[in-house]
Structure 1
Amino acid sequence: MFAALEIATGHVTAASKPRHRRQEFLAFLQQVARAYPERELHLVMDNYAVHKTPEVRAWLAENPRFRVHFTPTSASWLNLVEVWFGIIERQALHRADVVSAPELNAKIRAFVTDWNERCHPFVWTKTRTEILKKANRPTTSKTGH
């Protein structure tokens, strides 16, 4: 699944795809471009290889209104869409009794539609200092093990 979260409103643009290759990601970027025409967009993304392919880089260069910000390694929690992925997992998919991909996709689409009808802004609950402290912490163990 690809998703873009508008943090000011909580609105989600999503696409459920069977594969997550560059061509699916490019199609999703075009979907986001259509959903938000004429607006400067800031994309916060993890370091997934598909996000950095030559084709994606070329598309982004041709579409300068898309500004990309990559999260540091092991800090996907900085991307608020990851919070939303947790919400959909807990509220729609956890223990879901689905037997096929089409049924799963229908469940996801229904959740996204319902979510967007009742969406709300996403607001950080930690201070800037707390966030930066966590973001800058060492990622390797210093215990000597």
Structure 2
Amino acid sequence: MHQQGERAVSTDELAGVQALERKHPELPLAPGYIQRREFEYERHGTRCFILSRDVVTGKLVAPFCGPTRTEEDFLAHAQAVVATNPQVTRWHFVCDNLNIHQSEALVRWVAHLEGIGQETLGKKGEYGILALMPRRAAFLSDPSHKVVFHYTPNHSSWLNQIEIWLSILVRKVLRRGSFVSVDELEANVLAFIANYNQTAKPFKWIYQGKALTI
């Protein structure tokens, strides 16, 4: 796929990330004691991150950060990802079944890229492609489109590789972080992404699609 000019990215959101400032310094490591910290903190607001990871290179592409996670935010992120390389013949987004991944805004954007008239799409909640989420998802999953969305099965979002990367972000940056503002939170996350991209490698994906045994 990559050699044929196509790109696949694994996409998901990390919503409601709190900018927490610890009221007291952490206690340092000591023989026989792990690093300790006080439980008190102050909240300085939240941020939402929309992230896409190239499954071949391992790099994060066009990370998005903002106060909300709307269908317009997700559309802006998808458009930014596609804009990073106009030479790509087809983009594949792997994501879960969240409603903003199957939105009217996405359908209208993909239809525009395909030269499909907006008047043929119907009306959300009433008729045509836009009427219902399953119809929108079917349209967005069309493999002939220049931008194709692939949806993980219900309750199986863990199959999406971006979930692994988000756990890395939580462990390395968020869990023990102390941020005096949402701006500092955003700056720390984006700096971590920039540093990660310098040495990024693809995950060695070993799951073979077989049922897990107990």
**Same fold at TM > 0.5:** yes
> Letter of the aligned partner of 1:25 in structure 2?
F
Percentage identity across paired residues of the two chains? 30
Deviations along 1:39-67, one digit per CA (max 9) or x if unpaired, are 11111011111111111122123333211
Tell me by how many angstroms 1:35 deviates: 1.1
> Letter of the aligned partner of 1:133 in structure 2?
A
> Letter of the aligned partner of 2:164 in structure 1?
V
State the match for 1:16 in structure 2: 65
Deviations along 1:114-142, one digit per CA (max 9) or x if unpaired, are 0100100122123x2xx3425xx9xxxxx
Paired with 1:61 and 1:91, the residues of 2 have a C-alpha distance of 39
> Letter of the aligned partner of 2:60 in structure 1?
V
Query: 8 Å contact 1:9–1:122 — kept in the other structure?
Result: no
State the match for 1:55 in structure 2: 105
State the match for 1:112 in structure 2: 193
> Letter of the aligned partner of 1:20 in structure 2?
R
For these two proteins, the number of residue pairs brought into alignment is 132
State the match for 1:102 in structure 2: 183
Tell me by how many angstroms 1:99 deviates: 2.3
Query: 8 Å contact 1:46–1:70 — kept in the other structure?
Result: yes
State the match for 1:133 in structure 2: 211
Q: Structure 1: which 5+ runs fail to align?
A: 138-145
**Which aligned pairs between 1:31-70 and structure 2 lie closer than 5 A?**
31-39=80-88, 40-63=90-113, 64-70=145-151
State the match for 1:3 in structure 2: 51
State the match for 1:71 in structure 2: 152
Q: Once superposed, what is the RMSD of the aligned Cα atoms? A: 1.6
Q: Aligned in 2, Cα 1:122/1:36: closer, same or farther, shift over 3 Å?
A: farther
1:26 aligns with 2:104: no
Higher helix share: 1
Q: Structure 2: which 5+ runs fail to align?
A: 1-48, 114-144
Q: Aligned in 2, Cα 1:67/1:91: closer, same or farther, shift over 3 Å?
A: same
Paired with 2:79 and 2:112, the residues of 1 have a C-alpha distance of 12
Higher strand share: 2
